[in-house]
Amino acid sequence: MIMTTTQSNFCRLTGMPEEIYQTILFECGCEFAENYCKYLPEEARENHIRVMLSLSQYWNWWKTQWNIRTQEAFGLTGIKENEPQLCPFEIEALKEAFYDTHCENSYRNIYPNNLVMKVLRQKIYGSRNNTLKSNSIKGMERNRTRKSSVSVEL
């Protein structure tokens, strides 16, 4: 995966090799997928995880979430990304903020976006036509359209 400016600056300022950073990002992305699917029935869980981890949309979404948390680490410490270098205590503070903002608990209330879920459903369930609507829903939409198309002159 290509590193963002924020991620590159974090590695530069803390001395963390980009390979280590990318490995942590990848391992936590795998762990998130496993935790996200943990309540699925056992027979479906492994397939959902495998498919989710194979989606480029999932990894793009995950990388965005990861980058947001790296930005939060900078914000928590008040360290600017464009600093030329840091003092040892600033490096430790930034690393600590990084681990705090990237720990498993920080991902407890996030969910993959609609694009990820749409592609996941398509890969798992195939291309079923889910666009069929019942007549009552079609009628309600038709009525809403009619009502909203009325213009009023003042």
| pLDDT tens-digit profile, the chain (154 residues) | 789 999 999 999 999 999 999 999 999 999 999 999 999 999 899 999 999 999 999 999 999 999 999 999 999 999 999 999 999 999 999 999 999 999 888 888 889 999 999 999 999 988 655 444 444 444 444 444 444 444 444 3
In a domain, 144, yes or no: no
In a domain, 154, yes or no: no
Distances (CA, A) of 91 to 2, 21, 25, 51: 23, 15, 19, 37
Give the dihedral sign, CA 53/73/3/27. negative
Please tell me the predicted confidence (pLDDT) of residue 109. 85
pTM of the entire structure?
A: 0.76
In a domain, 62, yes or no: yes
In a domain, 85, yes or no: yes
Between helix 5-14 and helix 18-36 the angle, nearest 10°, is: 120
Can you tell me which residue has the tokens 């309540």? 39
In a domain, 53, yes or no: yes
In a domain, 135, yes or no: no
Number of domains the chain is built from? 1
In a domain, 151, yes or no: no
Q: Which domain holds residue 102?
A: 5-127
Please tell me the predicted confidence (pLDDT) of residue 43. 87
In a domain, 139, yes or no: no
Please tell me the predicted confidence (pLDDT) of residue 1. 73
Please tell me the predicted confidence (pLDDT) of residue 27. 95
Q: How much of the chain is in helix, strand and coil states, percent to nearest 5?
A: 70, 0, 30
Please tell me the predicted confidence (pLDDT) of residue 127. 67
Rounded Cα distance between 58 and 93, Å, is 30
| CA proximity to 119, closest of 59, 42, 67, 45 | 59
Please tell me the predicted confidence (pLDDT) of residue 98. 96
